[in-house]
Structure 1
């Protein structure tokens, strides 16, 4: 399974994320839940949260404990603005620079950084109750002709419904999320209402939610890659009180 290629169409890939608060790390595993996967859980990606003076970064790696940008396991990062309301996913790859005869250019591999997804959380100045509102813009779409002929693809979180008996906002996670949290979300393609069929409105591209202390599920499919889906979910772990 290529972690930077789009997920499959049809049934989503089901994964779970384990958070370690002491080391500020997050590990993504293939499987339904830790209880069902046990020791056979396959590590897909790992991330480390790094706080800087003006932003927060999540460094993403193929290895569980190696997050250096110089490592060949480092594949990209998620970077926030100062308020934690806007994020950019960078796909970092080692590439050969273009041939040049400038002094000092010895053809050594260099890091090339490209923006692949922008994430934005809406501000909540009125302090209305409910989950966070967000949307994601994908800069590059594989097989673009199959995705509404757009130059970019916008994903928006599905609006939950208020449950009178439970007195809370609810989404249908089909049993994959069991603990209420502002971090929980479902993303679907943002199309004009008059152009969406009922099937398209219910077509969840990515869903993320809590199932226990520091354990979360992540289910995703086309056109998101594992790397993109994981990075989007990581944005939910950053503190953003003005959005809640």
Structure 2
């Protein structure tokens, strides 16, 4: 169903309903007042909320139309019609939110918050990454491979920033704004000096136990930072690469500890944290609890200069999920290490990897779940890589882990 046909159908319904409202107004009860009272009972009919002409449609009819639109769309760019419906007015947006399901349930990415929600359990969401060596910018797109008409759906972008003792990958919703003071800031990835250990920071907390603080980052003056933008970073995962001291032959070995995801999430009936919107954190009023120094606060991450606003969340009550790279096998004929990427990786590279769950036998997790590839990343061309992820990782988690593979690691190779 095209967007033009939806608008045409809504116009016809509006004209028919308008004639009914004119007849009903003779009895002293205007249709618009009754409709708005039905949508928002706490608003008096004498003081309606103006949202535009399309806000006056009966919610039952609007619900049916948007549901049909949602069912007819399966991929980008057709998925943008649903987003356009949500942009019409507040009433449309609320109804669209009720219809749209999480990526875990439908396997589709719709709103920006979908990038921080776990992927589907059955089939992975397939994406690809483009690397721009000149600008040190990495772009994550939705889809199997790049299209010829440059209509790829940009999901996330990261900019590599080298520092004296570390490397940062600042992650944003857009590819031209990487400031932490921007509403598009999503999080960052930071490495140690050797490039063997990385920490993933989220711009919003994932646990209710995290305490909000109102101390801004020293990188910005208090007047420069929007009051809606969190000045803190929350540590949600660590990525470690095994040192190759003897320079032995073989691929990289890595391990990821997902502090924000419990190991029970991969068990039957287990769940992973699923945020519902960015606004639940950006709209919160700052806490009035004074914070004097980072060293006096155990939640503060003061390991790096200029980031006094970084927070480390309290450890979850359950054991965190650990991921490890799947061990490749040596192919005698090809004389190289090989993994079964099922056709998604075509170029040999030290960056290629597959991640599976590393669990203790006491957790009683089926062998099939332990062998299931949660994230795979590999090269398909010059500066083009594929990235496929599934539950319990989100697109943000997967992208941050893949970014760690791009950093230079002299101690691991």
TM over 0.5: yes
- Which of the numbers 179, 183, 190 marks the counterpart of 2:358? 190
- Which of the numbers 193, 214, 236 marks the counterpart of 1:116? 236
Q: Which runs of 4+ in 1 moved over 3 A?
A: 96-99, 105-110, 144-150, 192-198
Q: Which residue of 1 aligns with 2:183?
A: 72
Aligned mates of 2:227, 2:139 — CA distance in 1: 31
- Which of the numbers 28, 32, 35 marks the counterpart of 2:144? 32
The structure with higher relative contact order (CA 8 Å, sep 6+) is 1
Aligned mates of 2:212, 2:361 — CA distance in 1: 45
Are 2:372 and 1:203 equivalent residues in the alignment? yes
Aligned mates of 1:204, 1:39 — CA distance in 2: 30
- Which of the numbers 170, 176, 182 marks the counterpart of 1:59? 170
Aligned mates of 2:264, 2:410 — CA distance in 1: 39
Aligned mates of 2:365, 2:149 — CA distance in 1: 40
Q: Which residue of 1 aligns with 2:297?
A: none
Aligned mates of 1:98, 1:114 — CA distance in 2: 12
Q: CA deviation at 1:157?
A: 0.2
Q: Which residue of 1 aligns with 2:157?
A: 46
Aligned mates of 2:227, 2:176 — CA distance in 1: 26
Q: CA deviation at 1:38?
A: 4.5
Q: CA deviation at 1:241?
A: 1.7
Q: Which residue of 2 aligns with 1:102?
A: none
What are the superposed Cα offsets for residues 43-81 of structure 1, whole Å, 9 maximum, x if unpaired? 000000000000000000000111011111011000000
What are the superposed Cα offsets for residues 130-172 of structure 1, whole Å, 9 maximum, x if unpaired? 1100000001127x64435842000000000000000000000
Aligned mates of 1:108, 1:48 — CA distance in 2: 24
Higher strand share: 1
What are the superposed Cα offsets for residues 11-39 of structure 1, whole Å, 9 maximum, x if unpaired? 0000000000000000000000114x743
- List alignment gaps of at least 5 residues for structure 1: 100-104
Structure 1 length-normalised TM: 0.89
Q: CA deviation at 1:126?
A: 1.1
Compare CA radii of gyration and give the structure with the larger one: 2
Q: CA RMSD in A?
A: 2.4
Structure 2 length-normalised TM: 0.54
- List alignment gaps of at least 5 residues for structure 2: 1-108, 206-210, 215-221, 271-317
- Which of the numbers 266, 290, 297 marks the counterpart of 1:147? 266
Aligned mates of 1:87, 1:187 — CA distance in 2: 16
3-state SS, counterpart of residue 396 of structure 2 = helix
Aligned mates of 2:149, 2:253 — CA distance in 1: 34
Higher helix share: 2
Q: Which residue of 1 aligns with 2:329?
A: 161
Q: CA deviation at 1:108?
A: 3.9
